[in-house]
Chain A
Amino acid sequence: MSPADFQDEFVSYLSSPQLPNMPTRTLAALTIYRNTVAKGLIDALAANYPTVLKLVGNEWFESAAITFAHLHAPETPILAEYGESFPAFLAEFPPAVDLPYLSDVARIDRLWMESYLAADAASLPASILQGLSGDQLMSARLQLHPATRLQSLKNSAVTIWLHNQIEKAGELSVDNSDEDALITRTANGVSVMILCVIEYRFLLEIQKGATLGEAAMTALGINPEFPLAATLAKLIGAGCFVDATFT
């Protein structure tokens, strides 16, 4: 048997739901390989989706993780990247039908990990606001930091996610509303916050390439009392933008 044929056959033993009849010793050995692979995949997903694990518990999570892993093996040995489609899988996973927020909570776990592992870059400092004229500020095009993520979510997922970062999270009542999350990274680590609709639209325009002036006009169109300076200070303070020079 060629090495390629052996590997094809071995993978069929790793992947099949049940092993065929074979000598007890061979079965015991194959079971160890199957268990090690399964544990590796479950552990990787658990590390990448810690809030989902906390919400559903070990047994439920393992069952979901194994079902997912049979459909989607890792494409690389870099396991921090594994499970990109786990949130979408959870949205369709029948046992999760009574947990409508779970898929969006998983999305936040994923964005947290993306932010955590994103490239380094200096953040735009707060002092930038003092050194610019009004015209310079309004014509500036800010770039989001490589670790910044912006995402609209449903079912109060951000509130649920934030609540479950507390070690002994108590009861939480939610209204299943839509929420917008901003995920950023500073020297203190990754942080997740809820943006109000107007802040979200303002930042979304910047992300699309609008100048601060254009983005502010969009925001003012939604609410004429949009607090531009305070919003900008809040976003800069969160490490939202990459450092730049302005002319």
Chain B
Amino acid sequence: MTLLTAGLGFKPEHLTDALNCSVSGMWYEVHAENYMVAGGVRLNMLDALADRYPISVHGVGLSLASADEPDRQHLHKLKQVVERTEAFVVSEHLAWNRWQGAHFPDLLPFPRTSESLNIIARNIDIAQNALQRKLLIENPSLYLSLDTHGWSETDFLKELVKRTGCGLLVDVNNIYVSTHNVGGSATDYLDQLPVDAIGEIHLAGHVREKTDDIELLVDNHGAAICDDVWKLYQHLINRTGARPTLIERDNAIPAFDELLSERNLAAAMMQPVESEQRHVAC
């Protein structure tokens, strides 16, 4: 079996290029909610992609950090997309966006307390039982400093892994953005993550936004990956070894080849750590 190296988020406007891409170790990630439809071209595209490449299904609507339990109907639809694509990995976010029957298209923050830990662990259990498989949980990008956190984010994630058996999706850009916005060291964060739980890595771009004298980084998935994030990625894979790594781009989408160059760079950076892993294993 070919080792899955770096992949791209699938964009319908890149369909022809995506289907004809023959680089080794390629895979695609899809946003589950875009394919929760009855039929038509979207599902035809998804089927064509899944016929040729391994697929990662990335959900944005499960709202695992909601005080309420996950929506069963939504879980059922997520399961259908996962089964249809025979996804090699399924991921969701450490965030919430559903509140009293309303949905907000964002990934919202919460105080990391023991009470929220219990709720989120319960919600991950419900989701994993419904899907009958492990979920990878992604660290969010943070903008708001809360003085009510009882847990660091890395300890919170470690505890979720311990309690639920979930894995982690490490978004390096989110760590860069969050530590800039709310404080902390990105390398310390990476060093505290439990290596064995990491099933996927995300890389993306961000923008700087200044309001009054406050400059915040915004995780907009609309720019090239910056040098600092590449350095953090190198730091991370030196620890973890090769892991499926996604180039995420959802806004200001460039030509396929431009994304493929970033994807190929991530794959190339994985090669030395991969051979080192093999060497150690021998």
Contact = CB atoms under 8 A, between A and B. Distances in A.
Contact of B111 (A1, A25, A74): A1
B212 A28 contact: yes
Contact of B104 (A8, A73, A116, A146): A73
A147 B104 contact: no
B201 interface: no
Interface stretch (A33-41, A99-107, A231-239): A33-41
Contacts, number: 125
Interface string A19-46: 0000011111111110011001100100
Interface stretch (B2-10, B58-66, B151-159, B163-171): B58-66
A29 B115 contact: no
A78 interface: yes
A75 B99 contact: no
Q: Determine the interface band of chain A, counting residues with CB < 8 A from chain B.
A: 35 or more
Interface stretch (B16-24, B30-38, B82-90, B235-243): B30-38
Interface residues of B, number: 49
A36 B222 CA distance: 13
Sorted nearest first, the 4 A-B pairs with minimum C-beta distance are A77-B61, A40-B105, A73-B102, A120-B39
Interface of B: 33-34, 36-43, 60-61, 63, 65-67, 71, 74, 77, 96-99, 101-106, 108-111, 113, 115-116, 119, 143-145, 148, 181, 209, 211-214, 216, 218
Given A75-B102, A116-B40, 10 more contacts: A1-B111, A11-B104, A24-B213, A28-B212, A44-B105, A77-B60, A77-B61, A78-B37, A78-B61, A120-B43
17 contacts: A3-B110, A3-B116, A7-B96, A8-B99, A10-B108, A28-B143, A36-B106, A37-B105, A41-B105, A74-B103, A74-B104, A76-B71, A77-B97, A77-B103, A119-B38, A120-B38, A121-B39
